[in-house]
Structure formats: structure tokens, C-alpha cells
Structure 1
């Protein structure tokens, strides 16, 4: 280890910056965020630094460097294009045992600036020791995505409660278990939801009555398959879950992102073959939450679009179990985008309708005359088994049999297939389509050939991962 990671308290301390250009401005902004008293030595200041000086946020100390300027400062930063001056600053600072950083010149640094993830008071610093700063920045971006924006405020609230918790949890081990449960459980979820008062009430309840706080159910949309389409909030939640109930539409790539020690339980349903009855799923979710666990119900696409998420939360509400919802990218949006089919387009479709081909036998039948109107797009979920009926009814109610259609199988996934043709060919297109599949009806489908970008090729085999056009 070439550098000792240290977080320096510069608030209210004098820091000398030699240089007044763009690079110096970046360092000055960084120092001001940390509360440093910035003193600048430079022949001239660029507009940004000059404005800070005019606003008295820093002091333009001198126009020329003198070694005596180092005698009363805490840190030194040289940010000039004059290598000889930079070396002079470095050597003078070293002689006075002042920590010094010469920007972009690693040998002339006794300390380095890491890439920082700022969730004050939580700070994460990443450094390559000056060897690969771009790599450090890329790692910072990955970590940024994992840390909720509310993390800093959550840490502040925890700090406000530390002494009270010590009075009730008299051993270090007991306090550790308390905070681990809080940061993984309902307290953290409520903070993320912006409900700070309720979050503090949870801390108070758990402090007074250990084990009395029940868990919660978080309904999460996993998107249509590509793990990159999982939302940032969805990723954060599944990495905090104690138990995850998932369905068959959730891809293996998304499941790989679930917290390693979480229990994963499949409660998926397939047409004509229900592995777990909906009522049983509801009861399992409620039981695990009542046991104090953070329960994630992970559903393909968006849980409120033909995902029965509303039914599951109705059961949770009736049982008095708290819940949250994290929306997901629905299949109609994700799969069509990956297939190069805009759902709306000024020249072809002024509206889009989401329809399910799987419905209760006693439900109200479709308004086929409305669905058959031209210049609109139909995105039909779970419609392959009723493709013949859909085609027949749409044509019978006035939709042109030559209307372009597409069957998108396993949309956004590596083995995505897009089969295109006309409305009268829909039954044949859907007959052997791999599941899950989305049916798209409308003039926008003709844009597919020009706009397809994801694994697109012009093939003749309907099921080799290529695109097939039967028109």
C-alpha cells in the first residue's frame, strides 16, 4: 500500500492553492465544499476563480509564490503549467513538512486526491495511487449507482440517535445488531421514501420493544429481461432484501444481482400451469414481513401493468403490512425499443393501447371496434395463445388485414427474436414463438427494418435469433 487513506478535516483551516486557471478552479471548488479557507497565489484568475474571490469565498493572497507563504497553511496544492514552479512548491512544502499535491504530477505529491462518492457525512474514496485516475473515476460511477442519495441524511439521523440507543443497548454487540437491522430494514426504507418522521418512530419502537417492528413488502419491477434496464432504486432494494419472491419472467441476469445471502423463492405462474396459487403467494409475503424481514416481490416488467401487483398489495394493506412500490420498465416499452419499433410516431400512430390476451372468463370482453381503429398501436401481452382470435376480431371489426404486426419474443434478452408480417399472418407468427412474447399491431411496425439496432439481422429461419419478415 503506497498511500495511507486518511480523511483530513480542512474545515476552517488555511489551504494554499498556487494557480488561478481551470485546473485550480476544480480543486478550489472541492476544497470549498469541505469548508477550507482557500488562499490563492496566481498572476491572474480565470472568470470562475475571480467570481469566487469577488464573492469573498476565497482570498487572492498574492500574485507570485514565496516560500514563506507555506509557513501558516495546512495543505498546499500547485496547479500551474510551470513545472519549475511546481517543483519549487513541492520541495519547499516538503522542507516544512506540509502535505503537498502537484496536480497531474504523481512524483511531486505527498498526498493525492481520490475519486469521491459524497453522501455527507458518508464519504467513499477510491484511489489508484495516481496510476489510473480514469479507472478510479469509472469505479466511482459504479459505486455512485449503488448508494442511495438519502444515505447521508440517514447517517445524520443515526448519529442523532446514537446516545439514546447506547442507553438501551449497553453492549457493543447489541448496538451493532440494532443498527444492522435498522439499516437493512424498515427504518432505511422509510428514509429512502422521504418519510423521516415515520423512520424515527420505527427507531423509537425498536429501541423500546426489541423485535416488535415488523418488516415490509417492496414490490419491484425487474424490467423485461436485460439487467441493465433494472432501475437504480430496484437494484438498491434487491441488494437489501432478506427474502425475494420472484416469477418466471425475471431473467437470470437480474436474479444474479440479488443480495447473495437472501432467500430466493420462485412463485412464478405460467399459462395453464400455476406453480403457486396467488392466494398462497400473498400469504407467504405477509408471513415473511410479519417476521420482521424485508420482503421483495420481484416481478418481470412493471408490477402494475398486467402483473397483479395491485392484488398483492391489496392483501398486504388488508393485513396491515407496510409496503412500497418500485416501478419497472414494462415489456411494451422495453421490448419494442430493442426491436426498433416506436410505440407512437407522428406519421403512423397517435396513441398506444396496452392489452392483455390473458383475462378472466367472466371479465368484460374487449371493445374490438375501439381496438380495431387505425393509426394506433396495440401492444398485446400474453396474447400468443389467442393470436388467431385477436387477428380475426380485429379484421372483422375493420382493421386492415395488411396492417403490419410483430411478435417480439424474449425482448431485450440476448436471444431476442422479432418476427414481422401482417395482421392476417399473426396466428402463424405467434404459433411457435418462444415465451415470453409481445404482440405489436400497427403501422409503426414497418419502421422496424430501419430502426432495429439490437441483435438485428435479416434471416429466413424463424427461430434462430434472427428477424423474419413474412410480409
Structure 2
């Protein structure tokens, strides 16, 4: 962001314009739509439909102004106008010479008391105008009625709801109500009456939890519903696997709780996550439990739903693109193919220890007390005969540290040791990395170059369809 867009109140304030010709006329047209008191100086003369003084102002003429706009097509004159404003210690906008000014006036969509500015930091005003045109098409003129309705309702809401969170929640309900629809039709008085009735009859707030899939990492793979819930959430409880940039889409003022888990290092044990979700919902908050991938694919979403329902908390699920689908798309390798794979299985390579051993490994506060590899003593309990079938794709989540067991089990149950394997690390993210190998070589390949981020193993004949787009680690098949 090159510049910070700001909203500058102008009611009852004086704005000084210094300029000539069409440049000055355009700024006059804009500023006359505001409640500012305008003083215009035209050193080069010219006729405008407003009283002007045909001279350069003195510094004393600017004493009670709030800002200055300079509009000349001649740089030397623009520099003189900017120098006058600075001598009066006033911020100045210099039309078409942004390097001379202190601020830029954005391209504006005017909908009454609702105004939308599009700015490029003064570097590309034509781009700003084109973007404004697109936004104008999406924000109909009827929004001016809604803005008038909101302006008039605001004092009553401030008086009725001292708490900012309560007031914001009521605003969101009002703007999605029949009152707002009346306002957009221009029936502002009827809309105000309806809104006051709705507020008086509104039930006490209750909390809700949304389990939301954040997808495999790329923010653009979020669903529209997930994006909306992030913008509405009072609280977000998020995992380590939530991709960079996704949290930037959340409401800036929402509370955020990080509960990320790494192998053998659970920063917050699962039962404490359940307690946190219940506590926040019982405070009447809208909670988003944000999980990498999909909540119901190796994300413990089922456990969290059970805990929330047991506590009487309303819970909703918003699915996300799971890692296997995202990695398949980003690598160009299909999970099924008529010639290579007629079925696919999503499995987890995480070797679950018995309950008593989990306590020893993680400790009551989540501290690691065992060394890496302890889980290897509890081999994966899977249907290896079925998984070892030819022309069957295995998408293995969390399988890096159990790759030796996976390779041994599959080959022991008949899978060809030459079966291709594609390892996709940080799938769909800018730092995605791929390694192509064979089933028999998989453990050595991962030990030689262990993934530093989340990795998916794609085991099966479909991996032979992978075509590297850049120099990558792997073998030729």
C-alpha cells in the first residue's frame, strides 16, 4: 500500500483552491458536492460559476483554511501554489504533480454519505478511474438512500448500545433486514420505523461456532462463504496449516487465538481447544474455527463438533478444498485416470499412539517428552491388502515421518517397488516444492531432503504423469 486512504470531514471547514482553467473547474465540481466553504483564487483570470479572487493569495489569506488544492497545468505555477500552502503550514494537493503535494484525492464513488475512494498513491490516476467505473457498476445509486438511513439511525444505536461489539452486531443485522430493503427503495422514514421495531424485539445474542476449511494454502482457494465468515467473525481460532495471507482477510478487530499443532508439539491440546471454543461461544461471540484444508478430512472436525454439541453450542460446517485436491491441481496430476487409477484413497500416515502413550508423549500441558520416532513403534493399522492394489492412488497426509513403514507395508502386500511417488510440499503456496521418486526409494529420498513444510505423498501410477515445469528434485520414470 503506497498511501493510506483517509476520510477527511469537511462540514463547516474552509478549503482554498488556487488554479486556472479546466483543471480548477474539475476540482470545483468535486468539492462543491461537499459541505466545505470554498475560497477560490484564479491568478490567470477566467470565469467560473462561483465567486473568485483573480490574484495569488497571501499567506494570511490561508489562515483559517483546513487544506489547499492547487490546480495548474504549468509546473512552475503549481510549485508556487504549493509553497504558499506550506508557508501557511497547510496540507496541499497538487493536481497532476503528486510529487509536489502532501496528499492525493482518490477517484470517488459518491453515494450520498457513503463515499468510496480508489487510490493508486498518485502513480496511476487512469487506473484508479477505471477501477472506480467497475465499482460504480457494483454499487447502485440506491445505496445513497441506505447511507442516509444509516446516518440517521446511528445516533439511536449509539445511545442504545454502549458496547462496540453489541452495536456492530446490531448494525450487521439491520443492514441485512427488511428495513434496509425499504431504505434502498427510497422509503427511508418507513425503514427507520421498521429498524427501531426490529431492535426493540431482537432476542438476546447467542454464540455460534463455524468450522471453516481454509483450503491447502492459496488464499484464492477459499470459498466465498469462508471469506464472508472471516469478515464477520468476532473470534478466530486457527491452525498452523492456515496459509499465509488468509488471516489478512479477517476482520482487523477480531480476536485471534493460535492453536497450531506440529508433529510431537501440540501448542494447545485438543481438549483445551474444545474448552476455548465453548467459552467464546457462551460469551455470545461468533467464532470461526479455521482449519487448513477441510475440517472433516483429518482435521479433527468431528471431535470438535461432538464437543460443541455436548455443550449445547450451535455449530455449522463450511467445507474447504482438502490438500489432496489442491496438490493434484497445482501439480497437474489427476487422482484418478481411466488408464492409470480407477480409485483413490485418502489416508493419514500419522501413527497414532495408544491413549496412555499420548499422555506420555505430549504431557498434560502439551510438552514433548519423547524423542522423534517413538510413533514408529506403533505401526499404522490400515487395510494394506486393499491399499496395495494396482491402479489405486493413495493420497497420504502426514506421512513423511512414517514413510519407511508405508513403503515396507505396501511392497510387502504386493505393491510394485517401482510405483512412482510424487511428494508435494507446501502445496498451492508460492514456495511449493515437488519431488518425484519411487516407492522403494521414498524413505531415503525424504531423509536426504526432508520437507520443511506440510507435505502430501501421492503414491500410484498417476504420479508418472507428472511433468516438471522447472528443475526439481526427483528421478526420471
TM-score by length of 2: 0.58
| Alignment map for 1:42-441 (pairs within 5 Å) | 134-136=130-132, 139=135, 173-174=159-160, 180-184=168-172, 207=200, 212-361=204-353, 365-431=381-447, 432-441=450-459
2:470 alignment counterpart: 457
Measure how far apart 1:184 and its partner are: 4.8
Rounded Cα–Cα distance in structure 2 between residues aligned with 1:205 and 1:282: 34
**Unpaired runs of 5+ in structure 2?**
1-26, 34-107, 120-124, 178-195, 355-377
Rounded Cα–Cα distance in structure 2 between residues aligned with 1:187 and 1:396: 62
Pick closer, same or farther for the CA change 1:188–1:393 going to 2, 3 Å: farther
Measure how far apart 1:252 and its partner are: 2.2
DSSP-derived class of the 1:407 partner: strand
Pick closer, same or farther for the CA change 1:204–1:234 going to 2, 3 Å: farther
- The answer to whether the 8 A contact 1:224-1:412 is kept is yes
- The answer to whether the 8 A contact 1:185-1:294 is kept is no
Rounded Cα–Cα distance in structure 2 between residues aligned with 1:323 and 1:182: 21
Measure how far apart 1:298 and its partner are: 0.7
- The answer to whether the 8 A contact 2:158-2:167 is kept is no
Measure how far apart 1:136 and its partner are: 3.2
DSSP-derived class of the 2:328 partner: helix
1:446 alignment counterpart: 464
DSSP-derived class of the 1:256 partner: helix
Rounded Cα–Cα distance in structure 1 between residues aligned with 2:218 and 2:346: 21
Deviations 1:228-263 (A, max 9, x none): 111121111112111111111012211222211111
Rounded Cα–Cα distance in structure 2 between residues aligned with 1:293 and 1:401: 53
Measure how far apart 1:426 and its partner are: 1.2
Pick closer, same or farther for the CA change 1:255–1:285 going to 2, 3 Å: same
Measure how far apart 1:182 and its partner are: 3.3
Pick closer, same or farther for the CA change 1:136–1:209 going to 2, 3 Å: closer
Figure out how many residues of one structure are paired with residues of the other and give that number: 320
**Unpaired runs of 5+ in structure 1?**
7-113, 118-122, 145-151, 160-164, 190-202, 459-465
Rounded Cα–Cα distance in structure 1 between residues aligned with 2:216 and 2:132: 32
DSSP-derived class of the 1:236 partner: helix
- The answer to whether the 8 A contact 1:407-1:429 is kept is no
2:474 alignment counterpart: 468
Rounded Cα–Cα distance in structure 2 between residues aligned with 1:306 and 1:263: 26
- The answer to whether the 8 A contact 1:406-1:421 is kept is yes
Pick closer, same or farther for the CA change 1:306–1:247 going to 2, 3 Å: same
- The answer to whether the 8 A contact 1:222-1:234 is kept is yes
- The answer to whether the 8 A contact 1:186-1:215 is kept is no
Pick closer, same or farther for the CA change 1:440–1:126 going to 2, 3 Å: same
TM-score by length of 1: 0.59
Rounded Cα–Cα distance in structure 2 between residues aligned with 1:5 and 1:442: 69
Rounded Cα–Cα distance in structure 1 between residues aligned with 2:222 and 2:116: 26
